[in-house]
């Protein structure tokens, strides 16, 4: 475990005032200088923002750890995008899985948990593994943007992540979707091919649908369910999972 660092509200205010208006690259360089080697970056290989950040960080410091959440329900195209990243950048993303296999989850909670209790399914397969990915870290980089919905509309560049107990840095928070894709085209950044098939936001196979033109980009996630977030970027406790080996 890393050393627990405490920060004041004034510290975050100073950081955000200093970084507001800076480019994502400048914010990333600041994060590397401030937190590396205790810095890690999330990249799902299912969103364009994560791919842009990965390209940027590869030009700044390839020693920054990159992780993804392997839910066991990812699209083949998502794994293929991960493999392209390894080939293109020579970086080896670390995959974190749930402590429960899909079979163990079905045995303990019933079949198709994603339909009966999608919040619990996300907690088991995404939120808890995300917590393990962040253990011992000082800060993590996320691709959240303010234009991604009301729940993210006032997100600061730097914030204290109460859920996981470390600093969260959002270099692209002020960018628009058009800015992200302009960077991808200009720099020939690899991206998930499902984006070209009307999938603007890509998660697990069972909970991701294509989106009609003009609809909210995240409307294809958990279609028909009053749910817009997996739980990683919202409040609440991280579920504790006890495996059979630990019982």
Q: What is the C-alpha to C-alpha distance for residues 171 and 56, in angstroms, rounded to an integer?
A: 10
Q: Does the annotation count 230 as an active-site position?
A: yes
Tokens standing for residue 46: 């299912």
Task: Using DSSP bridges, classify how beta strands 39-42 and 94-97 pair: parallel, antiparallel or unpaired.
Answer: unpaired
Q: What is the C-alpha to C-alpha distance for residues 209 and 217, in angstroms, rounded to an integer?
A: 11
- What DSSP designation does 231 have? S
Catalytic position from the list 122, 204, 207, 230 = 230
Q: What is the C-alpha to C-alpha distance for residues 121 and 31, in angstroms, rounded to an integer?
A: 32
Longest Cα–Cα distance in the chain? 52
Tokens standing for residue 229: 């977030």
Residue 189 CB partners (closer than 8 Å, separation 6+): 51, 52, 54, 55, 183
Active site residues: 230
């Amino acid at each position: 475990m890393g050393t627990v660092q405490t920060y004041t509200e004034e510290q975050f205010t100073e950081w955000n005032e200093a970084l507001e208006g800076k480019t994502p690259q400048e914010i990333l360089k600041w994060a590397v200088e401030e937190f590396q080697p205790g810095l890690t970056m999330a990249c799902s290989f299912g969103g364009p923002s994560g791919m842009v950040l990965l390209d940027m960080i590869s030009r700044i410091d390839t020693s920054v750890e990159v992780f993804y959440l392997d839910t066991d329900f990812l699209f083949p195209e998502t794994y293929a995008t991960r493999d392209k990243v390894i080939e293109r950048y020579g970086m080896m993303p670390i995959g974190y899985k749930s402590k429960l296999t899909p079979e163990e989850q079905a045995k303990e909670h019933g079949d198709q948990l994603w339909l009966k209790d999608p919040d619990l399914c996300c907690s088991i397969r995404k939120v808890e593994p995300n917590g393990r990915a962040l253990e011992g870290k000082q800060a993590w980089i996320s691709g959240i943007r303010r234009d991604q919905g009301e729940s993210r509309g006032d997100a600061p560049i730097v914030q204290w992540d109460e859920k996981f107990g470390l600093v969260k840095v959002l270099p692209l928070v002020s960018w628009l979707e058009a800015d992200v894709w302009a960077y991808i085209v200009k720099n020939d950044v690899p991206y998930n091919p499902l984006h070209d098939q009307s999938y603007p936001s890509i998660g697990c196979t069972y909970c991701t649908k294509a989106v009609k033109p003009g609809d909210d980009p995240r409307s294809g996630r958990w279609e028909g369910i009053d749910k817009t977030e997996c739980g990683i970027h919202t409040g609440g406790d991280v579920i504790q999972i006890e495996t059979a080996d630990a019982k």
